[in-house]
Amino acid sequence: MIVLSTRPERTPAFESILEQAGCAVVHIPLIRIEAPESWDALDTALDRLDRYAGVLLTSLQAVRWFVRRLEERGIDRNALPPLHAIGEKTAAEAAERGLEVQELPSSAYGATLAAELPDVEGRLFLQPTSDIAREEVVDGIRARGGDVEQVQAYRTLPASGDALRDLRKLHHRGIGCVAFFSPSAVRQFIAALPELRQDATAVAVIGRTTAAEAEEHHLRVDVIAREQSAESLATGIVEWMRARDA
């Protein structure tokens, strides 16, 4: 079975699990991640770190670009306020880059982080994020009397023309399963294939937010990862495939 991975970068653990199960994984990035057009907003926040009760790291990309700018500015990690991550993968990415995060929320969703973050009333938090960031963390913390300043640390851009051409070619060959890791990738997929009929193609998603986006575009969601990780999503696809073939 051909499995399409739409993530910006290759994910060896995801591909390995599927290949061991006999799948052929094709990687076509349906979004691109780049630096913001200007670092001014993030630099202003980094110059006033004492304003914030904590920094909210809600994705792997947020960690990578936040740390990149810290290093470019020569900012000591010890100068940072407490760091809060959305889940184990994000925390691991932070640790790999020399950041120590506080206790993790009970599930890897922004709404859960906002609900379980201690002592938010009257306090301001910094969220380095993309140019198309969702508001669930902001809304959740504001509902509890706190506030969040979302600052762009990277941009989420549409797929390249080459990627879209590759996608259309693969669609004509036949896709057994398409794996989505973000709502943005879902939107790109639908825009590139306006004539799409899902039929036997399975849709696998990394979490509830991406599932909701797929369903909004009238896609049937066959697999939702038990945990928000590439490995969990790959395992879910293998289990679905074996159940289908049983």
Residue with tokens 């998603």: 205
Rounded Cα gap, residues 150 and 223, in angstroms = 31
The pTM is what? 0.86
CA angle 206, 208, 209 (to 5 degrees): 95
Same fold, 2-30+159-245 and 34-157: yes
Average pLDDT over residues 124-132: 96
Q: List the domain boundaries for the chain.
A: 2-30+159-245, 34-157
Q: What is the CATH number of domain 2-30+159-245?
A: 3.40.50.10090
In this predicted structure, what is the pLDDT of residue 245?
Answer: 87
176-193 per-position pLDDT tens digit: 999 999 999 999 999 999
Average pLDDT over residues 3-32: 96
pLDDT higher than threshold 80 for residue 30: yes
207-245 per-position pLDDT tens digit: 999 999 999 999 999 999 998 899 999 999 999 999 988
pLDDT confidence bin for 133, thresholds 50/70/90: confident
pLDDT confidence bin for 145, thresholds 50/70/90: very high
In this predicted structure, what is the pLDDT of residue 108?
Answer: 85
Q: What is the CATH number of domain 34-157?
A: 3.40.50.10090
DSSP string, the chain: -EEEE-SSS--HHHHHHHHHTT-EEEE--SEEEE--S--HHHHHHHTTGGG-SEEEE-SHHHHHHHHHHHHHHT--GGGS--EEESSHHHHHHHHHTT--B-PPPSSSSHHHHHHH-SS-TT-EEEEEEETT--SHHHHHHHHTT-EEEEEEEEEEEEPPHHHHHHHHHHHHH--SEEEESSHHHHHHHHHH-TT---TT-EEEESSHHHHHHHHHTTPPP-EE-SSSSHHHHHHHHHHHHHHHH-
